[in-house]
């Protein structure tokens, strides 16, 4: 009896460790992707801003400043659009990752439930045989 319990405990522990490893892998892949996405967005925004600043440095008169104003507004708008887009993509990817983790958790629970039912049926059959004797 003790051997059976140890085997079941070992199998359940192994299954839990495998599930935890899969959860961690999914979470780390998501974090890596999101980090790359935000780094890329930061890079694009920084390049656009510095290009605008370089252009602004060359302005020497009011006419140049007047011409520069719409460009500055355009750069700011594009930077905000990139940030919003990255935020939306972050949310979408995070939801997909959480759905995948929930699916894995559901599969693990279903598998554990099936194992427990099978073991319970074995015990019930063994008890029934013992009761008949």
- pTM here is 0.73
Using the structure block, give the residue that is written with the tokens 């979408």.
Answer: 92
Domain ranges of the chain: 2-132
> What does the pLDDT look like over 41-51, one tens digit per residue?
999 999 999 99
Kindly report which listed range (59-63, 95-99, 129-133) carries the lowest average pLDDT score.
Answer: 129-133
d(CA 89, CA 37): 9
Report percent pLDDT > 70 for the chain. 95
Residue 25: exposed, middle, or buried by beta-carbon count in 10 A (0-12, 13-18, 19+)? Answer: exposed
Whether the predicted pLDDT of 115 surpasses 70: yes
Among the listed residues 119, 129, 100, the one whose alpha carbon sits nearest the alpha carbon of residue 23: 100
pLDDT tens, position by position, 56-88: 998 888 888 888 999 999 999 999 999 999 999
For 55, residues 6+ apart whose C-beta sits below 8 A from its C-beta are 68, 71
pLDDT of residue 2: 65
């Amino acid at each position: 009896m003790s051997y059976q319990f140890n085997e079941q405990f070992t199998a359940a522990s192994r299954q839990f460790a495998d599930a935890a490893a899969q959860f961690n892998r999914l979470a780390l892949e998501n974090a890596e992707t999101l980090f790359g996405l935000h780094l890329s967005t930061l890079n694009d925004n920084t390049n656009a801003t510095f290009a605008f600043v370089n252009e602004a440095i060359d302005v020497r008169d009011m006419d140049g400043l007047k011409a520069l104003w719409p460009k500055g507004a355009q750069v700011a708008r594009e930077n905000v659009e990139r940030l919003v887009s990255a935020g939306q993509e972050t949310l979408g990817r995070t939801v997909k990752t959480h759905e995948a983790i929930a699916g894995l958790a559901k599969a693990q629970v279903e598998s554990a439930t099936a194992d427990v039912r099978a073991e319970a049926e074995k015990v019930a059959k063994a008890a029934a045989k013992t009761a008949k004797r």
